[in-house]
Structure 1
Amino acid sequence: MSRTGRTLLLQYDVVVDPEYGQLEEIATTSRFAIATFLSGNPDEDQDDPENSNFYYAATRVLTYQLLHADSTRIRNPLIDFLVLTTKEVPESQRARLEADGATVVPVDDIPLSWWIKTGVTRWRDQFTKLRLLEMTQYARVCFLDADTLLTGPLDTVFHEPGVFNASTTNFNLTAALKSDEAPPPASYVFAARSDNDFVGQRQHPVPPPSTDTFSAGFWVAAPSGPLFELLLSVMQHYHRFDPHTMEQSLLNYVFRRDGAMPWTELDWRWSATWPSEADLAAGVKSLHEKLGMKGPPEILRALWFKARSEMHEFYKERGLEK
């Protein structure tokens, strides 16, 4: 028997409960969240964090765009904006983000198995953003990395069919179900955008073709305790996924195209990795790139710095910033 008293089906030694983790339908009172993530940076200048820590500056710009800028702000009162932070983020920065209007949520790190590591030091905290999947007070959560420039509002991403309607786990795909992983939920939502890294990077066509791999810099999911437990259980198995890109590799494994819980492709206009001027001209609503640093196309960098300047002016006019 299952924990709920229902009869379990056994398939190739995998325990399956076809009702376990069923998602509730979205109601008129359901709440949603758009969220980003900020971790600590031991190398920043505590007296000038915005100019010594790009990700803190980017989080402030994204907060301004989502909450205050007329062309990109959230319109729907049922949508909250969250900034998930590690405990290492200084209280002064959390307080500044709260003054900017964000709902700041400090969370505990997710413990990592010894084999989960990468050469990029700052990625060590990236699994912590998966804490969003525990926040079941929200029907859906749209996550985007802080190094994202918005060109339009994101509210209606929650109306996408693959976001609004839950997918059913394919329990008949027995080869994809593993007995050493936690039971998969009977229904789930995970929608993302194909990664342009695999279709030409900066030279990708517009619209870009679909790929088997998505970017973890923009995704929409339904928070779910069973889903969170499944992710944690996968992390316990040596090289079940390639840890090089950390949580992106984990998510691409769990929601792989040929698995029991394949990911849903969002419309290409929602997000672009390796963004170009062609993406901007085509109306892509979020451009995922470190535009406050060297490298990307100058016209896109200019837009990011323009948003940063408008942010400072906005807060100064209201006496919220010196």
Structure 2
Amino acid sequence: MTSPAPATPSPSKYAFATILTGEGDVESSLEDPYFMAARLLTYQLLHSPDTRSADDIPLLVLVTENIPQEQRTVLAQDGATVVPVESITRGWVHPKWERWGGVLAKLNTWNMTEYDKIAFVDADSMLFKPIDGIFTDPSTAIQQTNPSHSSKGNEEGKKEEELPSTYLIAGIHDSWVEHNLPPTPGEGTDFYVKDNYMNAGFLILAPSEKMFEYYLRLLDQPSAFDPNYPEQNLLNCAHRVDGRMPWKDIGRKWNKKGAGLSDYEDGLKSVHQKWWVAMGNEVLDGYVANITAEMKTFFANRD
């Protein structure tokens, strides 16, 4: 009697994600630049022959309560998976700019445990090349949580034991913050230091309900971190490089906050920049014009 063939392991489940929180202030919601940015990201990740995923990786667009139905309908027609999420607020969290009032809703991404890894890309981003490879890049391997140094039995030790045993959060350095915002003792800014600060506009993460609960516990501690950059500073507080769950640097090829022609020519794969504002270079501005025109033609022909 022959033994049954071993079961084939199921493939890893990956997803891209972005979020809309109603930052726009234009009269028509379909003309809102962040909505248009989400459409462009959808086109680039799912449809463009130059940048789309080779493995049919889905794009999740998280939408908070105030996102109008017409935007949701269009994005779903474009091929995105529209995911309604609840806003997350705390009375002590006041962002530097009003338009960041809903950014903590980004934390809902950690509850999407049907996926093994999610690459979160802020809507105001643009791709130059495919970014599928980020999921298997060595910098995005699942990490073991570092051992606790707290004595078992005390309250701090109990909190430490509530951390997940494994985790993943990887991204890029925010060099502007590291060079321009020095830490101030007693103000929850001790992570504003060189080689420690991560930008939250391009993240690779492993969803985990336990991690989400940990983030909420931090939010329930008033002044635990500087709330000027709400979700970004929360993540830097939770994943400081000298902590138990340090974030990992993915290097410079995947994404950059703002880019010039030399970055583009050197093979940069994506840029985090409000591309609807002129980038100041004929080649880059030409790329923006071409890809947006390509998107509009593609969706117009589909309709």
User: Under a length normalisation based on structure 2, what TM-score does the superposition of the two structures give?
Assistant: 0.86
Contact kept, 8 Å, 1:136 with 1:223, in 2: the verdict is yes
Q: 1:281 Cα shift?
A: 1.0
Instruction: Tell me which residue corresponds to 1:43.
Output: 25
Question: What is aligned with 1:225?
Answer: 209
Cα distance 1:275–1:211, how it changes in 2: closer, same or farther (>3 A)?
Answer: farther
The alpha-carbon distance between structure 1 residues 158 and 234, as it changes in their structure 2 partners (threshold 3 A), is same
On the 8 A contact 2:23/2:100 being kept in 1, the answer is no
Matched with 1:86 is: 64
Shift in alpha-carbon separation, 1:303–1:178, aligned structure 2, 3 A: farther
Alignment partner, residue 148 of structure 2 = 172
Residue 12 of structure 2 corresponds to which residue in structure 1? 30
| Aligned 8 A contact 1:242 1:249 in 2 | yes
Q: Is 1:97–2:75 an aligned residue pair?
A: yes
1:65 to partner: Cα distance: 0.5
- Across the two proteins, how many residue pairs are aligned to each other? 278
| Maintained 8 Å contact 2:124/2:273 | yes
* AA at the equivalent of 2:78: D
- 1:215 equivalenced with 2:199 (yes/no): yes
Cα distance in 2, alignment partners of residues 42 and 158 from structure 1: 31
Hey, what does 1:282 align to over in structure 2? Answer: 266
* Contact 2:19–2:63 (CA under 8 A) maintained in structure 1: yes
| CA distance, structure 1, for counterparts of residue 136 and residue 108 of structure 2 | 23
- How far residue 313 of structure 1 moved from its aligned partner, in angstroms, is 0.8
Q: What is the identity percentage for the equivalent residue pairs of Structure 1 and Structure 2?
A: 35
1:251 to 222, 235, 242: 235
CA offset digits 1:253-278 (Å, max 9, x no partner)? 10100111101110210000121212
What is the CA–CA distance in structure 1 between the aligned matches of 2:112 and 2:103, rounded to whole Å?
Answer: 17
Structure 1: gaps of 5 or more residues: 1-26, 202-209
Deviation at 1:251, TM superposition (A): 0.4
Residue equivalent to 1:146? 123
Does the aligned pair in 2 maintain the 1:83–1:103 contact within 8 Å? Answer: yes
Query: How many Å separate the matches in 2 of 1:271 and 1:238?
Result: 32
Deviation of residue 214 (structure 1)?
A: 1.1
TM superposition score normalised by structure 1: 0.81
- Give 1:13's aligned residue: none
Give the aligned residue type for 1:59: A
* Structure 2 residue 286 is matched with structure 1 residue 310: no
Distance 1:196 1:303, change over 3 A: farther
Q: Distance in 1 between matches of 2:220 and 2:179?
A: 34
Is 1:60 the counterpart of 2:39? The answer is yes
Which among 26, 34, 50 is matched to residue 71 of structure 1? Answer: 50
Residue by residue over 1:12-66, the C-alpha shift from the partner in whole angstroms, topping out at 9 and shown as x without a partner, is: xxxxxxxxxxxxxxx54221110111112462212xx343x21111111111101
Check 1:178–1:148 CA distance in 2 against 1; reply closer, same or farther (3 A cut): farther
Q: Which moved more, 1:265-274 or 1:290-299?
A: 290-299
- Assess if the C-alpha contact under 8 Å between 1:196 and 1:272 holds in 2: no
Name the stretch that deviates more: 289-298 or 154-163: 289-298
Superposition pairs for residues 151-162 of structure 1, below 5 Å?
Answer: 151-162=128-139
Cα distance, 1:240 vs structure 2:
0.9
- Tell me how far apart the structure 2 counterparts of residues 69 and 30 of structure 1 sit (CA, whole Å): 23
Shift of 1:123: 0.4
Separation in 1, partners of 2:100, 2:204: 21
Long gaps (5+) in structure 2: 1-8, 181-193
Contact 2:117 2:204 in 1 (8 A): yes
Q: Secondary structure at the match of 2:67?
A: coil
CA contact (8 A) 1:291 1:300 kept: no
Contact 1:86/1:107 (8 A) holds in 2: yes
1:211 Cα deviation from its structure 2 partner: 2.5
Describe the shift of the 1:174–1:296 C-alpha distance in structure 2 as closer, same or farther (beyond 3 A): farther
SS of alignment partner, residue 102 of structure 2: helix
SS of the equivalent of 1:243 reads coil
How far apart are the structure 2 equivalents of 1:296 and 1:179?
52
